[in-house]
Structure 1
Amino acid sequence: MKKVKITVLRSTFNEDLARDYGIPGLKPCNMMKEGQVFYAELGKPEGFCDGAWRTIHPYVFALANGAKQFYFNDWVRQPGVAITCCNDGLRPVFFKLEATDEEVKSPFI
């Protein structure tokens, strides 16, 4: 199983949707910052958003276990990479997920 590098690519804010549906004063995500890098091993990285983790975890798990492509190979051109985002429709954060060559050390050995 490989470590997966998670890079925050973009933090967005849909002002029109936030105005129409969000709570008063809603602002862009204050937890994830563009350029942040995390490494996933056997679980959610320290300081990573719980909601974003629940959304991206299936891709992280697949990449950690050797997936090179997703869907019908018609998504991301670089093998071993996924571009995805959290499921916050008002202020989605986009991530680049990359399998690394570094093995995760098992806690059972």
Structure 2
Amino acid sequence: MAMNKVRITVLKTTLDEELAEEYGVPGLQACPMMRAGQEFYADYAKPEGFCDEAWKAVYQYVFALAHGGDGFAFYHDDWMREPGCAIVSCNDGLRPVIMKLEATDLPAELGYEPVR
């Protein structure tokens, strides 16, 4: 099966003010690394400029969608309304970033020749 790129759109950055007040450093704000409206395209590797910690939290969803996520019940009829789409977040408990992942028809760029 061919691997395609997945579009990652930052929907919003958040800050749980109650938890930040109790556990965060003074003056903690929403994530400074990502901003609403940013778009990235990913396949087998983290896109350039994408937060390392956010990638650790979402790469398994990207990988599944890149390999034909439309067929996964995990994403459709159980969690998400539309097939080939997932709404996910990074794992920062005080200031999570919410992202939309969408399967595309754009072929992945492996960056190397596969062994045949």
Query: Where on the TM-score scale, by shorter chain, does this alignment land: which range?
Result: over 0.9
Pair 73,55 (structure 1): closer, same or farther in 2 beyond 3 Å:
same
Between 19-28 and 82-91, the greater mean CA deviation after superposition: 19-28
- Taking the aligned partners of 1:59 and 1:41, their CA distance within structure 2 comes to 11
CA distance change for structure 1 residues 5 and 71 in 2, over 3 Å: closer, same or farther?
Answer: closer
Counterpart CA distance in 2 for 1:29 and 1:65 is 30
Helix, strand or coil: the match of 1:83? Answer: strand
Hey, what's the Cα distance between the residues in 2 that align with 1:12 and 1:44? 22
Instruction: Report the TM-score, using the length of structure 2 for normalisation.
Output: 0.88
Which amino acid counterpart does residue 92 of structure 2 have in structure 1? D
Partner of 2:56: 54
Candidates 14, 34, 51, aligned match of 1:32: 34
Describe how 1:3-22 pairs up with structure 2 within 5 A.
Answer: 3-22=5-24
Asked whether the equivalents of residues 75 and 85 of structure 2 are also in contact (C-alpha less than 8 Å), the reply is no
Residue identity opposite 2:19 in structure 1 = L
Q: Does 2:96 align with 1:86?
A: no
TM-score (norm 1): 0.93
Structure 1 stretches of 5 or more lacking a match? Answer: none
Residue identity (%): 58
Q: 1:41-78 CA deviation, whole Å, 9 max, x = no partner?
A: 32000110111100000000000011224167321111
Runs of 4 or more above 4 Å deviation: none
- The aligned residue for residue 79 of structure 2 is 75
Question: Measured at CA, do residues 28 and 60 of structure 1 come closer, stay the same or move farther in structure 2, by a change above 3 Å?
Answer: same
